[in-house]
Amino acid sequence: MQKNVDEHIEKLIHKAMKDSSLETPSIDFTKHVMQGVIQKEKSVVTTYQPLISKTVWTWISIAVIGAFIYLMLGNQTNGMNWFGDLNLESITQNGFFDVLSKVTISQTVMYTLLLFVIMLYIQIPLLKHHFDKRLKL
């Protein structure tokens, strides 16, 4: 039964193929496809735009340099006692720092934190390089 059905389907397909003509693409088919590919490559979707523009960096630099110059050349009548007017005793007498001074951290935790920081500083440049390379494609 299955063989008979297969033969019938095969004859039907053969008859349909005889009646249809061979379709050919237009003469400029390759040219049109390549133009579409070139237009896709020029897409502006992945263009790089920095989060902080150059003008903002310029203003930040000017502010930092200005603050540095002001601190270096400003009024120095107080001498080296910059925090003489601040009352910091109330902060240290609230008991919070006493609790923190009693906290001990084991060497294992310290080594783990140190290793975490080192790996973080290694992974950040590697990931930045990876994503920069990926955006260039």
What would the pLDDT profile of 11-37 be if each residue is shown by its tens digit?
888 888 777 777 777 888 888 888 887
Count of the separate structural domains present in the chain: 1
pTM attached to this predicted model: 0.30
pLDDT at position 137, please?
Answer: 63
Residue 7 lies in a domain: yes
pLDDT of residue 12: 85
- Residue 123 within any structural domain of the chain: yes
The pLDDT value given to residue 41: 60
89 within a domain of the structure (yes/no): no
What does the pLDDT read at residue 68?
A: 86
Decide if 126 is inside a domain: yes
Distance CA(38)–CA(42), nearest Å, equals: 6
- The whole-number pLDDT of residue 104 equals 87
pLDDT of 80: 54
Range of the domain at 117: 2-40+51-76+95-136
Amino acid at 18: K
Torsion angle, CA of 89/93/99/102, rounded to 10 degrees? Answer: 70
Q: What is the pLDDT of residue 113?
A: 94
Closest to 100 (Cα-Cα) out of 111, 109, 92, 108: 92
> For 47-72, how does the pLDDT look when each residue is reduced to its tens digit (9 = 90+)?
677 888 899 999 999 999 998 888 77
